Amino acid sequence: MDYLAPYIPILMLLVIALGFGIVTLALSGLIGPRVITFTKLLPYECGNVPTGEANVRIPIKFYLVALLFLLFDMETVLILAWAIAFRDPTIPNFQPYAFLAMVFFLLILVVGFIYEWRKGALEWT
């Protein structure tokens, strides 16, 4: 219970935040006028009549960014844990060891990063 106690206020805040959002949205929906015309129901394109589907094809680049994000975010998670453990005073001579370990890990990572850079995965033009 002690371990989970700090999360109870977050739960309260979540309930308050969602409650605030839902209540204001609902109230505003009830109070506001509702006059439906044909042009209002069209998607907004600065006054032009929309042509074609809105779900257009998206450049593959964006997919690549998502993939790269997954890769490097994993690594960020590992590094964050490493950063906290780095100052651990209970293990003698731990820091040089931890430092070298991370440098080797980063070397492998940077090789991958340089590869994708040279492959042009980061180019947008």
Partner 1 sequence: MTLTLTPFAIEMLLRLVLILVIFHVLLIIVPFMVLWERKLLGFIQERPGPNRVGPWGILQTIVDGLKLFLKEDIRPASVDRTLHTLAPLMTVAPAILVLAIVPFADPVRITLDGGEFSLLGLTIQVAPVVLDLPIGITSLEVGILYYLAITGLAVYGIVLAGWASNSKYSLLGGIRSSAQMLSYEIALGLSLVGVLLIAGTFDLRAIIEQQDGGFWNWHVWKQPVGFLLFMVAGFAETNRLPFDLPEGESELGAGFHTEFSSMKFAMFFMAEYMNMFTFSAVLATLFLGGYTGPIASPFAELGWLNVAWGVFWLMAKIFLIVSFMIFIRGTLPRFRYDQLMDLGWKVMFPLALANMVLTAGVVAVFPPGNRWVTREEIIGQPSTVGLTLGLLVVGVAQIIIMDMILNARKRRLLANAR
Q: Is residue 8 a contact residue for partner 1 (CB under 8 A)?
A: yes
Q: Helices 94-119 and 60-85: crossing angle, nearest 10°?
A: 170
b/e per residue, 59-78, with b = 16+ CB within 10 A? eeeeeeeeeeeeeeeeeeee
Quick one: CA dihedral 109, 111, 116, 117, positive or negative?
Answer: positive
- Integer Cα distance of 107 and 101 in angstroms: 10
Q: Is residue 115 a contact residue for partner 1 (CB under 8 A)?
A: no
Within 67-96, the residues that bind partner 1 by CB under 8 A are 68-69, 72-73, 76-77, 79-80, 83-84, 86-87, 95-96
Binding residues (CB under 8 A) for partner 1: these are: 5-10, 12-14, 16-18, 20-22, 24-25, 27-29, 31-35, 40-46, 50, 54-56, 58, 61-62, 65-66, 68-69, 72-73, 76-77, 79-80, 83-84, 86-87, 95-96, 98-99, 102-103, 106, 110, 113, 117, 122-125
